[in-house]
Amino acid sequence: MDSKPQTPQDTRVYAIGDIHGRDDLLTDIRGQITRDIQDHPVGRAVIVYLGDYVDRGPASNQVVDTLIERPLEGAHSIFLKGNHEEFLLRFHDAGDLGESWLMSGGGATLASYGVADALDQFHALWHLAEMRDAFRDALPASHLDFLRSLALNHKEGDYVFVHAGFRPGVAINQQSADDQMWIRDEFLFSEADFGAFLVHGHTPNPVPVVRQNRIGIDTMAYRSGCLTCLVLEGAERRFLAT
- Find the CATH number of the domain harbouring 78: 3.60.21.10
Confidence of residue 118 (pLDDT cuts 50, 70, 90): low
User: Considering the domain boundaries, does residue 148 fall inside one?
Assistant: yes
User: Considering the domain boundaries, does residue 1 fall inside one?
Assistant: no
Q: Kindly give the pairing relationship between strand 214-216 and strand 209-210.
A: antiparallel
Confidence of residue 116 (pLDDT cuts 50, 70, 90): low
Q: Which residues pair with 79 in a beta bridge?
A: 49
- Compute CA 76 distance to the chain's CA centroid, rounded to the nearest angstrom: 16
Cα separation, 105 vs 55, in Å, equals 5
User: Over the stretch 151-175, which tens digit does the pLDDT of each residue have?
Assistant: 999 999 999 999 999 999 999 999 9
User: Considering the domain boundaries, does residue 5 fall inside one?
Assistant: no
Tally of CB atoms within 10 A around 37: 18
Q: CB of 239 within 8 A of CB of 231?
A: yes
Q: Which residues pair with 76 in a beta bridge?
A: 46
Residues with Cβ within 8 Å of 151's Cβ and at least 6 positions away in sequence, in order, are: 78, 79, 80, 81
User: Considering the domain boundaries, does residue 173 fall inside one?
Assistant: yes
Residues with Cβ within 8 Å of 97's Cβ and at least 6 positions away in sequence, in order, are: 128
User: Over the stretch 170-228, which tens digit does the pLDDT of each residue have?
Assistant: 999 999 999 999 999 999 999 999 999 999 999 999 999 999 999 999 999 999 999 99
Distances (CA, A) of 44 to 49, 150, 228: 16, 22, 21
User: Considering the domain boundaries, does residue 94 fall inside one?
Assistant: yes
Number of domains making up the chain: 1
DSSP string for residues in 1-39: --S---PPTTEEEEEE---TT-HHHHHHHHHHHHHHHHH
- Tell me which residue range forms the domain holding 208: 11-241
pLDDT on residue 129: 83
- Give mean pLDDT, residues 125-147: 90
